[in-house]
Amino acid sequence: MPTDLVQLEQAEPGWQELVADATDASVFHHPAWGRVLAETYGYRPIVLASLDGHGRPAAGVLLTRVRRPTGPAWVSLPFSDHCPPLARDPVSLSRLAAGLADWSTREGVPVEVRGDLRPAAGWKEVAIGVRHVLSLTGDAESLRTGLYHDHRRRLRQAERSGLGVRFGRSPDDMADFYRLHVQTRRRQGVPVQPRRFFDAIWRNVIAPGLGVVALVGEPGRPIAAYVVFAWNKTAIGKFQPSDPARWKLRPNHLLYWAVIHWARESGCSRFDFGRTETRHDGLQRFKSGWGAQEIPLSYARAGGDARAAGDNGLLGAALGHVIRRSPAFVCRGLGALLYRFAA
C-alpha cells in the first residue's frame, strides 16, 4: 500500500469529521448503512484514505469486498446507487485515485467506486444511467409549479381519489411494504432482496430516525409504498413498489408528492430519486416530471476486466421468465440465494 494511503475503521474520528464536512455525503456514508451490509451479508466496510500534513484524512472512500460469479471485487458501496469518495480538495482526490489504482493492482482485485473520480490513470469511467435530484429550497407552491403539466394533472386526480398517505417506522409498516415489494419484483421478473435485508434496514436506518416508510392504502393492504432515507440534508428514495391494478387512482403521484413534502419539512434541502439506468426511458421521464435535475451517473472501475465489477447479469432477463410464472416464494428464494452476488 502506498505510504500516503491508510486503512481506517468507519468509526475513526478523522473519517467521521470528513464525512460531517462533506455536503455530498449521504446515508450510504453513515455507519448505519455499513451495519445493514454487515448484518445481512457479512460485508463490512473499511475506509481507505489519503492523509494531509497533520495526519488527518484529506480524502477517503468506503469499500467492501464482495463476492461475484466473476470473482471478488471491492465496491463502494454494495446496494447503494451513489456513494462517491469524499475529499477536502481536488488535489487530495487525485492522490486518493492514484493510491486506489495502485492498491487494486497490489491486491489483484478490481475496485468499483460508485461516484466520480475524474479522469485518472488506471481508471475507466463506465456510464450507468442518471440520477434525478430535486432542490427543496423553495416553498411548497414553487415546488408544485415546477411539476410537469401531466404530473400536476395526475396529482390533482390522486388528491380527489380519497386516498391518504401515512408515514411510519414500525415493524408492521416495513412488513406491509415488503409484501407489496415482493409482488412488484415478481411482476418485474427480478429476484427480491431477502426479508433479512429489510429487517436490517428497519433496525439500523428506519427505527433510529434516518428514514421512513410511506404507504398509500389501509394497514396491511398498501397499494403503493416508498422507503426513503434521510440524512445530512439529503433524502433518497430507495424502494418504491405499487399495485398496477390501482394505478388509475394515481397512488404513486400522491405518494411522491407527500414524500417530497416530508423531506422538506424534515430539514432536507434536496431529494434524490435514485439511480435510473439508461434503458429505462419511461422511468427517467417520470422522475424528471417532478422538476428534478437529471445528473449523469458514472462509476469508476480499476483493475481486472472493468465489466466484471458489476455486470454479472443475475438480475437480468434470464430469470425473468421463471420468476413471472412462478409463485412469490420462488422470487424470494432466488433473491435469498443470488442477491448477495449482485452487490
| In-domain check, residue 335 | no
- Residue 298 to residues 70, 98, 128, 137, Cα–Cα distance (Å): 21, 18, 5, 26
Report the run of H or E that residue 239 belongs to, with start and end.
strand 234-239
| In-domain check, residue 142 | yes
Query: Exposed e or buried b for every residue in 116-154, given b needs 16+ CB within 10 A?
Result: bbeebebbeebebbbbbbbebeeeeeebbebbeeebbeb
- Residue 179 to residues 220, 239, 332, 335, Cα–Cα distance (Å): 9, 13, 11, 14
Q: Which residues have a Cβ under 8 Å from the Cβ of 250 and sit 6 or more positions away?
A: 154, 155, 157, 158, 161
pLDDT digits (tens, 9 = 90+) for 75-120: 999 999 999 999 999 999 999 999 999 999 988 999 999 998 877 8
| In-domain check, residue 264 | yes
- Which pLDDT score, from 0 to 100, does residue 321 have? 66
| In-domain check, residue 210 | yes
One domain for residues 117 and 158 = no
One domain for residues 122 and 153 = no
| In-domain check, residue 279 | no
Structural domain boundaries enclosing 147: 138-268
CA distance linking residue 332 with residue 334, whole number of Å: 6
Q: Which residues have a Cβ under 8 Å from the Cβ of 315 and sit 6 or more positions away?
A: 190, 191, 342
One domain for residues 181 and 231 = yes
One domain for residues 107 and 154 = no
Checking phi first, is residue 79 left (phi over 0); if not, alpha (psi -120 to 50) or beta? left
**Residue 114, Cβ neighbours under 10 Å: how many?**
25
| In-domain check, residue 62 | yes
| 63, pLDDT greater than 90 | yes
- Which pLDDT score, from 0 to 100, does residue 306 have? 46
CATH code for position 230: 3.40.630.30
| In-domain check, residue 286 | no
User: At which residue does the C-alpha cell 489519503 appear?
Assistant: 50
Maximum distance among all alpha carbons in the chain?
63
| 316, pLDDT greater than 80 | no
DSSP secondary structure code for residue 192 in this structure? P
User: At which residue does the C-alpha cell 428464494 appear?
Assistant: 333
| In-domain check, residue 195 | yes
pLDDT digits (tens, 9 = 90+) for 155-194: 999 999 999 999 999 999 999 999 999 999 999 888 889 9
**Total domains present in the chain:** 2
One domain for residues 125 and 229 = no
